[in-house]
Structure 1
């Protein structure tokens, strides 16, 4: 019997509608780029063709207004070689593959605030054939799953949601569908991975994916929805995940960022129970879980506080400790007692409520 979450109608999914679309000159050389521009125009979205490849944003000096306009802008550009060059993406996957950069959501913990410079516009890439051409030479060359004893069965893995939420853009770009088809036709031990806070999965359900794409729903308790502006409700995301699983896709949860706010145990126990209910009718179920605690850098904190000055997300030093990366940068993470309590809770609760799920990593 279908659960209430799994039965949630597809029309509940949120579809981003940018206020404007900027199209660079070189886009016209690519069929995929022209199709994106045509799709946006057909939806009645103003499409501005730029005379060159340089983006002319025309943003106001006021930071709040500039942020608002940038977040309502989609630019369709050609990814340069530096953006097409695959990079390792531990602990998620062997390689990162970028279909776009930026996200239309308004998450007050967004890690892109510290990763991407400049105004937070969303860029979708037109030169999909060049992006795809980078993938085959990396077959078997990764270090996360390609050579992992525990995850080698996943093959060489490619993460498509490092710098974007590809499902959030799919109705405008069609890029995710194209990538899923491409992986489905790639006769090799590979897996495409993407995670999303959105629920509009209908274009993906009938694709010939051949089990080579894993969708993960990025989730947090509904009580924390105030930190995830512009996204679909958690119940809708879980319902979308169930539809994808019924369509034969392997699926997963990205519980991120785990926030140790007051009452977190009850909130996350309810989230895990809701997940178990949404997926209860699916057999067999190939489900993974990725657990990522909340962290921030001094730079991302400054940017986020300028974007969301009224946010109640706790980014104080209380209960935090510094963690230095291999590159020498500093992240503020939860202290050891808090991390230990969180990890013990999640490992115990997931084993109880989702006994067939595999926890891929904790960070």
Structure 2
């Protein structure tokens, strides 16, 4: 097993999770990798509380919790513009991305939680067939069917060697004889467990990529070259594929950096007859809460979080987020969409945000 795969130092398994065969299997895999597996007597997570916030962060990032998704956690949520519905196989991420959007979205220490009741989670998806507000009602994306996003609050591929949950979801969608699509995105290139699975062309795997100069902000993830190589492997195995280009930032040399990214992808897909490639463009933004959290996690980071260079916008919930000014946003959009059309003409652009 490649050394880059995450090995949590400690794994907490709740009593309810141990009642599921899937939960017990996760615990066994983690123990096989040398993790300290602790079986809890109840369902309350006993998390460490070091006085030093940096120590608390390190402890949490090294901890995996195997829990059961409650009924409220299993309730499907709309997730525009990516997909009709969001469902979760896990929550949290062990990587160290200095712009992490989960920093402002998830409360508490950044422990990665994985769900033991995967069968129950998947069994709730058919109720949403034919419903939703994105692909289900879009003439342009109707061919995707009802879409289900599995990577809103986690990177399920980065922990697949521990959980096996993503493979279960792929088998489920592969056997689901209906116009549906499973979607997830990842910053990890270890796609070996997915190769050869009966996906039925009902799965779109997107690799989260960026200009090489920005990959340095993504600690603990796969190198860009491995992610691009993974795109080629997946395409040759019949998966629908995609690029999640995020978070876009106009750093020095950004035009050349993104042109090179598209050129590398084109080379990886050379010879693939029908790659069915999509592209999603997501620009960098932050909220006051996420800025505070991220500066606490990564005090030495030189990531640009200067409000003076941004425009203030309101989220759908009425809170503040800081985005690039409209003229700069137009320049980036015009440049990157033109580069995509030139270097990857077979790619379909889904959205820019």
**TM-score interval w.r.t. the shorter chain?**
over 0.9
Q: 1:130 to 1:12 in 2, by over 3 A?
A: closer
Query: 1:64 Cα shift?
Result: 0.3
State the 4+ residue runs in structure 1 displaced beyond 6 angstroms: none
**Match in the other structure for 2:194:** 204
Q: Which blocks of at least 5 consecutive residues in structure 2 are unaligned?
A: none
Deviations 1:109-161 (A, max 9, x none): 00000000000000000011221122000001111001111001100000000
**Match in the other structure for 2:13:** 23
**Match in the other structure for 1:289:** 279
Q: Which blocks of at least 5 consecutive residues in structure 1 are unaligned?
A: 1-10
Query: 1:12 Cα shift?
Result: 6.4
**Match in the other structure for 1:261:** 251
Query: 1:267 Cα shift?
Result: 1.3
8 Å contact 1:12–1:236 — kept in the other structure?
Answer: no
Deviations 1:315-348 (A, max 9, x none): 1023310111221011100001110000001110
**Match in the other structure for 2:26:** 36
8 Å contact 1:160–1:193 — kept in the other structure?
Answer: yes
SS in 2 for 1:340: helix
SS in 2 for 1:82: coil
Q: Taking structure 1 as the reference length, what is the TM-score of the superposition? A: 0.96
SS in 2 for 1:284: coil
1:108 and 2:95 correspond: no
1:356 and 2:337 correspond: no
SS in 1 for 2:308: coil
Paired with 2:169 and 2:287, the residues of 1 have a C-alpha distance of: 32
Deviations 1:60-82 (A, max 9, x none): 11000000010000000001111
**Match in the other structure for 2:261:** 271
Deviations 1:159-211 (A, max 9, x none): 00000000001000000000000000011100000100001111100100010
Paired with 1:59 and 1:213, the residues of 2 have a C-alpha distance of: 40
Paired with 1:68 and 1:78, the residues of 2 have a C-alpha distance of: 24
Query: 1:13 Cα shift?
Result: 7.9
**Match in the other structure for 1:215:** 205
**Match in the other structure for 2:68:** 78
**Match in the other structure for 1:246:** 236
2:136 to 141, 146, 149: 146
SS in 2 for 1:83: coil
Moved more, 171-180 or 256-265: 256-265
Instruction: Show the 5 A alignment for 1:167-246.
Output: 167-246=157-236
SS in 2 for 1:141: coil
Paired with 2:15 and 2:57, the residues of 1 have a C-alpha distance of: 25
SS in 2 for 1:237: helix
Instruction: Show the 5 A alignment for 1:145-164.
Output: 145-164=135-154
Deviations 1:284-340 (A, max 9, x none): 221000000000000001000000011111010233101112210111000011100
8 Å contact 1:319–1:338 — kept in the other structure?
Answer: no
Aligned residue pairs, count: 353
SS in 2 for 1:194: strand
1:58 to 48, 52, 64: 48
1:97 and 2:97 correspond: no
**Match in the other structure for 1:324:** 314
SS in 1 for 2:311: strand
Paired with 1:110 and 1:291, the residues of 2 have a C-alpha distance of: 16
**Match in the other structure for 1:47:** 37
Deviations 1:220-248 (A, max 9, x none): 12211220000000000010111011000
Paired with 2:6 and 2:15, the residues of 1 have a C-alpha distance of: 24
Superposition RMSD in Å: 1.1
Greater RCO, CA 8 A, separation 6+: 1
